[in-house]
A and B are shown apart, each in its own frame.
Chain A
Amino acid sequence: MSLQLDQLSLALDGVAFIRAFSLAVEAGEIVTLMGPSGSGKSSILQAIAGGLAAPFSATGRVLVDGVEVTHMTPAKRHIGRLFQDDLLFPHLTVAENMLFGMARGARATRLEKVQKALSEIELSGFEDRPPATLSGGQRQRVSLMRSLLAAPHCMLLDEPFSKLDENLRAAMRALTFKELLASKTPALLVTHDKADAPPQGRIYEIQNGEVIHVR
């Protein structure tokens, strides 16, 4: 599994604000992208996921597992996402949320995977609970496992720890990195806080529209 960006440039109303960003993230690698608020971090993720809309525009290529996905619809790119908010679907139970993105197959097998995933995040028995009955940390853990169960070929993490309090934040960070490494899913993490970056791993920073390799 891999994620590749080839000369990705972004513009707002025709004015470039990210210039020729190239990057390759390999299986099991978590690359961090940093930059001040409004520098274009989230727009880069939007462009990779295929969700960039006017007045923004992008040029360059996005490749997932070596296949160009630049012109594919977001759902066909096999790119998983984790957001600041957990975005659990409120009308579905915890298990239904996790089943939502999973490949089709025998229901029993799929449910077994859900239970295994829930036990990994210490939420066994929460299958039938509506998301609204979970704490913030529990919801974020379910959201992470929901994304991974959809078997994405790479993951984009858009400041997923920024709304958690300090204790939860460290635990969630550790869990996320552990799961991503275990599933060998390449990931691009966007954050404005250096403490969120994995201790080993590359860090890029946006400076005046250029994306610079800083570690």
Chain B
Amino acid sequence: MPAFGLILLFILPALLVLGFMVLDGFSLSGWEALFAHPQFPKALALSLFTGSVATLAALTASLLIAGALFQSGDLRRLAKPLGAMLALPHLAFAVGFSILIMPSGLIARVMATLFGWASPPAFSTVHDPLGLALIVALAAKETCFLLFVLAQAFSREDRRLNLLGQTSAAQAMGHSSLSITLRLLLPQIWRELRWPLVIVFVYAASVVDMAAVLGPNQPPTLAGLAWSDINSARVENNLRGGAAALMLALVLGMAAGLISTALQALTPAFKRYATHGPSHTNFPTWLALLKWRGIAGLFAASGLVLLIVSFAQLWTFPDIIPQVMNTTAWEQIGARPDALVTSLMLGLSCAAVGLVVLVAWLETVAAKYDQVVLVLSMAFLGLPALLTGLGEYRLLLQMGYVATWQGLFIAHLLPTVAYMFILLAGPYRSFDPRWRAASDGLMAGRATFLWKIKWPLLRAPLASAAAVGFAVAFAQYVPAQLVAAGRFDTLTIEAVTLSSGGNRPLLAAFAFLLMLPPLLAFWLAEKLGRQTWGAA
């Protein structure tokens, strides 16, 4: 019976969403209109280009950093800052990054001070036609995600000691640190990296909110094109948008499949490379640390610039500090806090409900049924948010829940539960059963065991899952925009809307607000989950 919560709130709606999301895509007129759209081929090419280059850049950076820092023993030190950087919503980072790199942004002002420029550079650094700004921002954000995955893969205790031993042996044979990363470490963790890479690729090629802030406009990426059609008031445009979203998913699926097949075919070549003999080409620890600090610095600078700009009333180029600062933007938000309140309520309620239904499921349902939840969760993570968001919208429209609080809650809960399940199921299921036997031997009932032993011992993964759940729900844009239907405002909706307007202080204030609660949730989870027992 307790498992019913997850079935009702996740499994059933997720199955329906997957069914509904292809409905629009079956419209023949939608496909015809899509193929006739003059921007379609370029938009598709842009999506594939931005997605693949950002993924490749993130993979290269994360591998070089993780490989070198694992060998020097510094990788574990990255856990805390990585967690904070992961908690930062993509959209908030994109807004901060855009203000940092725009022609009149902080970087240009520093350059102007150094080189004596009198006016901002004349070329576009944001919304550039090749999507380079989008690629850099995506690469930086996704490097953190892949670094996190690699750090997890390397830090499994049994494997860590084994790999460290192999590393010493390879060093003794004359291999450089880079050679060890590519020839020894990468082949052993490659399997664990494949799914995260697919997720990164699909996300990077189909992102909507970051593309709206940083991506090209004429033409936009295919996700951007589909998004504007889906939000159009004309039904024929909506159908074309649905077809474009489905097209994007199909092309990305095929691309991921093709890349996977190509990599399989290249396996013998990789093996030859691995046994080619020692190489002295190196990527030293100091360079890895420098690269890591560069990315971390970019995140910190993006946050800082948001805070400064939110107070900047007058800030002429090339001054480094605003001439006039005031709190107008913050007063505006204070006078109308609806967006913040709605986002906070969605984040808190989704994380709380998600945690309760997941724990009830994990506590009462046999592990073999986890596969169902896992497949649905992976679908939510691996499919473009545009498509799942559209499915959610269609389902909630059928149920009469669009533009209602319940609809908004369900639309946010589905991706939240997907992320929380993937984080929580492993640690919860692998909880050592001997603790239960010890508790039984002391005649303690199930409730006592859960409250006093199991949940306190599992508080780190429980707190992490809750924090991630909060951050995921808090940062949703596509389902929020579609299901809110103008009746509700969230911080993400406000930030994207403002990104195309001229009120930069208000945009920065909203983006800064979007950044703070997930960071706070991460900090709280870290504090709550900290192991307080151990040797004195």
List residues of chain A with CB under 8 Å of any chain B CB.
49-51, 73-76, 78-83, 85, 87, 89-92, 100-101, 129-133, 146-147, 150, 152, 156
Residue of chain B at shortest CB distance from A85: B434
Question: Contacts A51-B437, A83-B434, A87-B434: A132 and B533 contacting too (C-beta < 8 A)?
Answer: yes
**Set B438, B441, B446: member contacting A79, Cβ < 8 A:** B441
Contact B444 A50 (CB under 8 A): no
Nearest A residue to B441 by beta-carbon distance?
Answer: A81
B533 touches A91 (CB 8 A): yes
User: CB-CB < 8 A to A100: which residues of B?
Assistant: 439, 442, 444, 452
B442 contacts A101, CB within 8 Å? yes
User: A152 contacts which chain B residues (CB < 8 A)?
Assistant: 441, 443
Cβ of B536: which chain A residues have Cβ within 8 Å of it?
Answer: 129-130, 132-133
- Contacts from B to A (Cβ < 8 Å): 434-446, 449, 452-453, 456-457, 532-536
Contact across chains for A91 and B442 when beta carbons are under 8 A apart:
no
Residue of A nearest to B435 (CB): A87
- List the B side residues contacting A150 at CB < 8 Å: 441-443
Q: Which of A81, A82, A92, A101 contacts B444 (CB 8 A)?
A: A101
Q: Is A132 touching B534 in the complex (CB atoms < 8 A)?
A: yes
B445 and A75 within 8 A (CB): yes
Residues of A within 8 A of B533 (CB): 90-91, 130-132
With a cutoff of 8 Å between Cβ atoms, the chain A residues found around residue B532 in the complex are 91
Nearest chain A CB to B461's CB is how many angstroms away? 14
19 of the cross-chain contacts (CB-CB < 8 Å) are: A49-B437, A49-B440, A73-B440, A74-B440, A81-B438, A83-B434, A85-B434, A87-B434, A87-B437, A89-B435, A89-B457, A91-B532, A100-B439, A100-B452, A132-B536, A133-B536, A147-B441, A150-B442, A152-B441
B-side interface mostly: helix
Q: How far is the CB of B442 from chain A (nearest CB, A)?
A: 3
Q: How far is the CA of A156 from the CA of B440 in the complex (A)?
A: 12
In the docked arrangement, what's the CA distance between A49 and B439, Å? Answer: 12
Give chain A nearest CB distance to B366 CB in angstroms: 10
From A103, which residue of chain B is reached at the shortest CB distance? B443
When distances are taken between beta carbons in the complex, the residues of chain B under 8 Å from A80 are 441-443
Q: Which 3 A-B pairs have the closest CB atoms?
A: A101-B442, A81-B441, A74-B440
Provide the bound-state CA to CA distance between A81 and B533, in Å.
24
Residue of A nearest to B456 (CB): A91
A152 to B449, CA, bound (A): 17
Complex contact B443–A132 (CB within 8 A): no
Question: In the complex, which residues of chain A have a beta carbon less than 8 angstroms from the beta carbon of B438?
Answer: 81, 83, 87, 89
Question: Using Cβ atoms and an 8 Å threshold, which residues of chain B touch A83?
Answer: 434, 437-438
Q: Residue on A with the closest CB to B437?
A: A51
User: Nearest chain-B residue to A45 (Cβ)?
Assistant: B437
In Å, the complex CA distance between A164 and B339 comes to 62
The minimal Cβ–Cβ distance linking B441 to chain A, given in whole angstroms, is: 3
**Could you say which of B435, B440, B456, B457 contacts A75, with CB atoms under 8 Å apart?**
B440
Which A residues lie within 8 Å of B534 (CB)? 90, 130, 132
B457 to chain A: which residues have CB within 8 Å? 89-91
Given contacts A101-B444, A130-B533, contact A75 B434 (CB under 8 A): no
B448 to chain A, nearest CB (A): 8
CA distance A80 to B442 in the complex (A): 6
A130 to B437, alpha carbons, bound, how many Å?
21
Nearest residue, chain B, Cβ from A151: B443
- In the bound complex, do residue B443 and residue A75 qualify as a contact, i.e. CB atoms below 8 Å apart? yes
Contacts of A91 in B (CB 8 A): 456-457, 532-533
